[in-house]
Amino acid sequence: MHYLEFLKSKKLTKRQIDVAELRLIFMSIDEISKDLFISEKTTKFHLRGVYEKLGAKSYLGFYRVMFGYGYLNQESFLEIKNKRFLMLLRRDQ
């Protein structure tokens, strides 16, 4: 199963998926907030929702779920990075 299918199967909202993807590529809360034009408080709110829906208690638990079950690997990591890069390019045009 692809990581996006997994996140959707856990009933994450679109915004929770956006935040989760950025967290998966090791972006900080500050970086995620700036990238998505939301406050840090809102970013943390969405991350708590992601962790809760995935049964993770923390940032590390989130990674354990995603890596441990094979939902995140080098290929999906690069896919997320490329997707974000293309979004930034479109934003600058």
- Domains belonging to the chain, first-starting first, are 3-92 (1.10.10.10)
Evaluate if residue 87 carries a pLDDT over 80: no
Label residue 93 by pLDDT band (50, 70, 90).
low
pLDDT digits (tens, 9 = 90+) for 20-68: 999 988 899 999 999 999 999 999 999 999 999 999 999 999 989 998 8
At residue 69, the pLDDT reads 82
End-to-end CA distance of the chain: 34
At residue 72, the pLDDT reads 81
Q: What is the DSSP string of 18-86?
A: HHHHHHHTT--HHHHHHHHT--HHHHHHHHHHHHHHHT-SSHHHHHHHHHHTTS--HHHHHHHHHHHHH
